[in-house]
Structure 1
Amino acid sequence: MTRRLSPARVPAWSMAVTAMLMIQVSNALSVGIIDVVGPAGTAWLRMCFGAVFLVCIARPSLRAVRRADIPKLIALGVVTGFMTASFLAAVDRIPLGTAVAIEFLGPLTVAALTGKHRRALVWPGLALVGVVLLTEPWHGRIDLIGVAFALTAALCWALYNVLTQHVGDRFSGISGLALTIPIAAVATAPFGIPQVVGGEFSWWVLAAAAGIAFITPVISFGLEMLALRRMTHNAFGTLLSIEPAFGVLTGIVVLSQTPSPMQILGIALVVLAGAAAQRGGARPPAAGTA
């Protein structure tokens, strides 16, 4: 007799790592769609298809939503939508690895601020040094608009991690995502629809966006939510330290974006800062899930 592998038996760290890798692959694969319908259009299509998939899979019950849940669900949906749109806008202007490193400042700062020791605040500073090495402003090639989009994504990512843990505590499995991703699609619609309508639209864009949406947000965000329900902010933020490295690796393999030795040093500093920011442990299961 075979034994079924339940999510509770899968280590939380393995779900988080798998989610990180899938997110970076989906972002790299989105570059071709961005060239056709723009970053906001790409984000909107991904959210729309993701919403359809998640609602069909999870079939969330609106009766389980309490009045107190509504602000958190709306906030998480809006943050998710703009996190994706801002990051794709950054990737449209700066290398994937650099965008990930800048965006990583968000969850890294959350990990430092929620740590037990104030000295942990030094690690976001070290990561910032790494980001400077990555952007190489002394060469005069820095794209300030791209950096601004990445910083916006960093703020959204920080809020996303905090809100995801709250929503994940209330809703079991991926039902929370099935409620928030449709909100993300609505939030990004005013920016995404004009780009889709005004772009050189073709049917392959829909097929590609649907495939990428199944990777992110459906599978990857679902794995993240399951992982965050069983990990502290500090443990999750520390584990995220490898995501900038995943971004660089994906950029090399998928987009042929080869970093310079100075940029590799910058990534190393960001990863080191994330790993040292805060050590955490397992998070006790949350009560009261719907």
Structure 2
Amino acid sequence: MTAPTRWAQALPLLAVLGSVTALGIGTSQAKQLFPVVGSLGTSALRLGFSALLMLLIWRPWRWKLSRADRWSLLRYGIALGGMNLLFYQSLRTIPFGIAVAIEFSGPLAVALFGLRRRTDLLWLALAVAGLLLLLPFAGHGERLDPVGVGYALAAAVCWAAYIVFGKRVDHLHAGHSVALGLSVAALTVVPIGVWHAGTALLDPQVLLFGLGVAAVSSAIPISLEMMALKRLPSSAFGIMISMEPAVAALLGLLVLHEQLSATQWLAIGCTMAAAVGCSLTSRPASPAPDRVLPQPPTITPGST
């Protein structure tokens, strides 16, 4: 095998790895804005600048929309905004990697709902086991804040809704749907962030930092994923995306100094194993819209 051929095969895998890493780095950096503008203000900055960047890149006003598509994009964007807002709320009190693992239960639930084989019960069992190991009532998650866990579970519900509504606009160009969906999400979340943080959002350093977070956590991951999705089967893409909880946990450790227990690492491992299993045993499906935040296995091609 020649070097150019090896590089061509490795490029999409590196693109997905780069996407997951950039998203994790962006979210880790965003958490450092919490003491200044709070989680609501941080969500507003991230979504507001992400929407502006995507609008400038894709210029969605060049395409016409039917009435049905406008309604679908509205629900898609509201779900995206809720997912971001609730996820950032969860990060106030629980570690980054744990929040991602809990939030992953949303896309996993959508993926498992479509599976019909007996072996799929194994992936369901792993997903449930991972979630139970993290929840406070399981006897292992007593150190986790119940309110933070609740926000992460609510974000998981929004992620599932984002996938369902996103499939209804999968016939649109990916950049078109992402740009308009982010715009709706920004219009949903930015007023809340402005109400909470006020004039603190106008500080030049805060604005510059927010722009950097938006670029690293949205523009770069989306571009890399779109490159990978053209070259990878859905199952391979889903397996690569399943690394996300582990990458988030590692970045939480390295950047935010968040320590996890052995039980919590085991829970993340169960979640990842369930995601990989869903990707390997899922039936081929039509492509869904490209993601803005981490997307689930088997449901994508197609948030935190």
TM score, norm. by length of structure 2: 0.79
Q: 1:121 to 1:193 in 2, by over 3 A?
A: farther
Q: In the aligned structure 2, how far is the partner of 1:249 from the partner of 1:26?
A: 14
Deviation of 1:177 (Å):
1.5
Q: Residue by residue, what CA displacement relative to the aligned partner does 1:228-254 show, whole Å, maximum 9, x if unpaired? A: 688887765554322111111111111
- 1:250 maps to what in 2? 251
Q: 1:25 to 1:187 in 2, by over 3 A?
A: same
- 1:205 maps to what in 2? 206
Q: 1:193 to 1:266 in 2, by over 3 A?
A: same
Q: Residue by residue, what CA displacement relative to the aligned partner does 1:189-221 show, whole Å, maximum 9, x if unpaired? A: 342111220758632111111011112222324
SS in 1 for 2:150: helix
Deviation of 1:21 (Å):
2.2
2:134–2:140 Cα contact (<8 Å) kept: no
- 1:240 maps to what in 2? 241
Q: 1:29 to 1:36 in 2, by over 3 A?
A: same
Of 214-223 and 99-108, deviating more is: 214-223
Q: Letter of the 1:164 partner, please give it.
A: G
Q: 1:127 to 1:198 in 2, by over 3 A?
A: farther
1:168–1:229 Cα contact (<8 Å) kept: no
Alignment of 1:214-229 (within 5 A): 214-224=215-225
Deviation of 1:34 (Å):
1.7
Q: 1:169 to 1:63 in 2, by over 3 A?
A: closer
- 2:169 maps to what in 1? 167
Q: Letter of the 1:91 partner, please give it.
A: L
Q: 1:272 to 1:14 in 2, by over 3 A?
A: same
Deviation of 1:139 (Å):
6.6
SS in 2 for 1:169: coil
Alignment of 1:129-144 (within 5 A): 129-134=129-134, 137-138=139-140, 140-144=142-146
Of 42-51 and 118-127, deviating more is: 118-127
SS in 2 for 1:167: coil
Of 99-108 and 175-184, deviating more is: 175-184
Q: Residue by residue, what CA displacement relative to the aligned partner does 1:170-195 show, whole Å, maximum 9, x if unpaired? A: 115x2222211111111113421112
Q: Residue by residue, what CA displacement relative to the aligned partner does 1:256-288 show, whole Å, maximum 9, x if unpaired? A: 1121222222222221122123424766679xx
Aligned CA-pair RMSD: 3.0
Q: In the aligned structure 2, how far is the partner of 1:13 from the partner of 1:45?
A: 30
Identity rate, percent: 33
- 2:37 maps to what in 1? 37
Q: 1:121 to 1:224 in 2, by over 3 A?
A: farther
2:49–2:210 Cα contact (<8 Å) kept: yes
Q: Residue by residue, what CA displacement relative to the aligned partner does 1:42-100 show, whole Å, maximum 9, x if unpaired? A: 11111111111111111113542122211121111111111111111111110011101
1:40–1:192 Cα contact (<8 Å) kept: yes
- 2:160 maps to what in 1? 158
Q: Letter of the 1:22 partner, please give it.
A: A
- 1:149 maps to what in 2? 151
Q: 1:229 to 1:150 in 2, by over 3 A?
A: farther
- 2:22 maps to what in 1? 22
Q: In the aligned structure 1, how far is the partner of 2:70 from the partner of 2:230?
A: 19
**Matched residue count:** 278
Deviation of 1:147 (Å):
0.5
- 1:272 maps to what in 2? 273
Q: Letter of the 1:76 partner, please give it.
A: Y
- 1:184 maps to what in 2? 185
TM score, norm. by length of structure 1: 0.83
Q: 1:28 to 1:190 in 2, by over 3 A?
A: same
Q: In the aligned structure 2, how far is the partner of 1:40 from the partner of 1:269?
A: 31
Q: 1:106 to 1:228 in 2, by over 3 A?
A: farther
Q: 1:116 to 1:233 in 2, by over 3 A?
A: farther
- Consecutive unaligned residues of structure 2, counting only runs of 5 or more, are 1-7, 289-304
- 2:83 maps to what in 1? 83
Q: 1:110 to 1:201 in 2, by over 3 A?
A: same
Q: 1:158 to 1:14 in 2, by over 3 A?
A: farther
- 2:297 maps to what in 1? none
1:105–1:124 Cα contact (<8 Å) kept: no
- 2:3 maps to what in 1? none
2:133–2:141 Cα contact (<8 Å) kept: no
